Amino acid sequence: MKRTNTLVVRPRSQKDERLLREVLDASASLWNELTFARRQNFFDDESVWDADDCYSRYNNVLGAATTRTVIRKNDAAWRSFFKKDDGRTNLPGYRGNEEDGRMLMTHIRNDSYTLEFGDRSRLEIPVGKDLKEKYDLGYYERLRLEVAGEPRWDGKQGQLEIKYDEHSNQFRAFQPIEVADSHPRLGTPLADETAALDIGANNLVACSTTTGTQLLYHGRNQFERFRKTTHEIARLQSKLPENRYSSKRIRSLYRGRTNRRDHMQNTLVRDLVERLHDEGVSTIWVGELKGVLLRHWSVRANAKTHNFWAFRAFINRLECTAEEFGIAVEEALEAWTSQKCPECGSTDRTIRERDSLTCPCGFEGHADLTASETFLRQQDGEYEPRPTARPVRFEWDDHGWSETPYSHERPKEVRTHQSTLSV
């Protein structure tokens, strides 16, 4: 299986930083030139593979290996595009432009870089002869950079990706690693329990397990922040001059918005899987995505579904993380689970209002937690409801998921601080 080490790259001097920026900028320029030529061929109903070869113009800047690696990466983007069902959407895009600034990024072949860890961890990457002459590097010399961070995985190294993150003002390196199934970091389930997840945007995850544990991760505040940033991006775009589509500030807002969402989501997945592993869970059930991503009449609902919610990214991260603990992730239809009364089984008489689900039969409970428990019963035929503890609720603080004060209390219970009572 494949895993990734993420490291911070630190140039040793201003000269090294300028050289690194030139390598990343030239790689982005190569990508853009090739993408433009191929898009023109595509629109003219010609073969994209007959586009002008950019190799000769960048060979002496990036070096032969890096130039070919960037081209092959672009090849892969176009092959992925042609595999899609519609074949006419989401053409491979550009990495910024020279006027507004390019997305500084490059790809280094797995046998062209050296990454060593220790007291002085370092990364060495190749550069072309033109840059070597410009920055006084020897013929066999490579650009040497410091790296910070401990590698989480070891094994056969893959193609290295280096990019500059404007939001954090850091260079980052991403190193794919082919990990053996016997790797000591890979675990096994402690028991044979089952969990079912109801995934959403207001409550990102509602989880029920056959041990009786219920977990709830809130997301409403994060969506409102995501939406506020989206409005600011739209406001700035409306002020751009004619024929301008972006700016450095807009790109920074886009990246910051995406990074915050992904960091929150990735941290949630690891926190959730670690807790489920401690519960002895060996299988996690999630709802199939079919039909979930259909367009909704509400602009707000579409923003949650298509931008903030990020279903597929969540499922991919869940599968990847669960694999580390030997936990299987299975998908199944979860139709009507959010509307089904667990007491009488009705789906047409229940009423959902925000987080509450009520039924004329007298049932009242948390809608998402009820949905996850109903989904669990559907998937685990031998599941017999156990005494369920009050759910544990979590809130995001931009760094991690913390259990909320009094999180075990029922939604209807109200706690009054003693200092507010009249004497």
Alpha helices in 168-247 (DSSP H): 220-238
Domain limit, last residue, from 178, 201, 236: 178
User: What pLDDT is stored for residue 89 in this prediction?
Assistant: 59
Cα–Cα distances in Å, from 99 out to 70, 92, 166?
22, 20, 16
Please check whether residues 216 and 161 belong to one and the same domain: no
Picking from 236, 207, 204, the residue whose alpha carbon sits closest to that of residue 217 is: 204
User: What pLDDT is stored for residue 335 in this prediction?
Assistant: 77
| Predicted TM-score (pTM) of this structure | 0.73
Please check whether residues 166 and 211 belong to one and the same domain: no
Please check whether residues 155 and 31 belong to one and the same domain: yes
* Element spanning 332, H or E: strand 328-332
Q: What is the pLDDT of residues 327-370, one digit of tens each?
A: 999 988 887 788 888 888 888 888 888 888 889 888 888 888 98
Provide the domain count of the chain: 2
Please check whether residues 110 and 204 belong to one and the same domain: no
Please check whether residues 173 and 197 belong to one and the same domain: no
pLDDT category of residue 36 using cuts at 50, 70 and 90 = very high
Please check whether residues 318 and 172 belong to one and the same domain: no
Domain limit, last residue, from 112, 146, 178: 178
The answer to the question of residue 316 being in a domain is yes
Tabulate helix, strand, coil % of the chain (nearest 5).
35, 20, 40
Please check whether residues 37 and 105 belong to one and the same domain: yes
Please check whether residues 33 and 118 belong to one and the same domain: yes
Picking from 333, 373, 315, the residue whose alpha carbon sits closest to that of residue 196 is: 373
The answer to the question of residue 381 being in a domain is yes
pLDDT, mean over the chain:
84
Q: What is the pLDDT of residues 195-241, one digit of tens each?
A: 999 988 778 899 999 998 999 999 888 888 888 999 999 999 999 98
| Mean pLDDT, rounded, for 379-389 | 67
User: What pLDDT is stored for residue 378 in this prediction?
Assistant: 87
pLDDT at residue 419 greater than cutoff 50: no
Please check whether residues 54 and 155 belong to one and the same domain: yes
The answer to the question of residue 138 being in a domain is yes
CA distance 196 to 311: 16
Asked if residues 131 and 22 have their Cβ atoms less than 8 Å apart, the reply is yes
| Mean pLDDT, rounded, for 383-411 | 72
Please check whether residues 168 and 34 belong to one and the same domain: yes
The answer to the question of residue 398 being in a domain is yes
CA distance 309 to 201: 6
pLDDT at residue 14 greater than cutoff 90: yes
| Mean pLDDT, rounded, for 133-150 | 93
What is the torsion angle, in degrees rounded to the nearest 10, for the CA atoms of residue 404, residue 218, residue 207 and residue 312?
-150
Picking from 111, 141, 110, the residue whose alpha carbon sits closest to that of residue 16 is: 141
- b/e 205-232 (16+ beta carbons within 10 angstroms → b): bbbbbbbebbbbbbbeebbebbbebbee
Domain limit, last residue, from 123, 146, 178: 178
Picking from 295, 300, 297, the residue whose alpha carbon sits closest to that of residue 220 is: 300
User: What pLDDT is stored for residue 380 in this prediction?
Assistant: 79
pLDDT at residue 301 greater than cutoff 70: no
CB burial of residue 312 (10 Å; 0-12, 13-18, 19+): exposed
CA distance 304 to 199: 12
User: What pLDDT is stored for residue 319 in this prediction?
Assistant: 92
User: What stretches of 139-187 adopt beta strand conformation (E)?
Assistant: 143-148, 156-157, 160-165, 170-178
User: What pLDDT is stored for residue 412 in this prediction?
Assistant: 38
pLDDT category of residue 158 using cuts at 50, 70 and 90 = very high
Strongest mean pLDDT among 82-91, 136-145, 147-156, 310-319 = 136-145
pLDDT: is 290 or 214 the higher one?
Answer: 214
Q: What range does the domain containing 203 cover?
A: 193-222+266-410
Q: What is the pLDDT of residues 241-282, one digit of tens each?
A: 888 878 888 888 888 888 888 889 999 999 999 999 999 999
The answer to the question of residue 253 being in a domain is no
Helix, strand, or coil (residue 43): helix
| Mean pLDDT, rounded, for 122-147 | 95
176 beta partners: 4
User: What pLDDT is stored for residue 207 in this prediction?
Assistant: 94
Q: C-alpha angle with apex 307: 329 to 39, nearest 5 degrees?
A: 100
Please check whether residues 76 and 139 belong to one and the same domain: yes
The answer to the question of residue 233 being in a domain is no
Poorest-confidence range of 64-68, 228-232, 278-282, 404-408?
404-408
CATH code for the domain of 378: 3.30.420.140
pLDDT category of residue 142 using cuts at 50, 70 and 90 = very high
- Helix pair angle (248-278, 220-238), 10° resolution: 170
pLDDT category of residue 291 using cuts at 50, 70 and 90 = very low
User: What pLDDT is stored for residue 384 in this prediction?
Assistant: 67
The answer to the question of residue 255 being in a domain is no
| Mean pLDDT, rounded, for 170-189 | 83
- Residues contacting residue 315 through CB under 8 Å, at least 6 positions apart: 286, 289, 329, 331
Question: By percentage, how much of the chain surpasses pLDDT 90?
Answer: 42
The answer to the question of residue 41 being in a domain is yes
| Mean pLDDT, rounded, for 154-179 | 90
Residue 422 phi, psi dihedral angles, 5° rounding: -75, 140
Please check whether residues 205 and 87 belong to one and the same domain: no
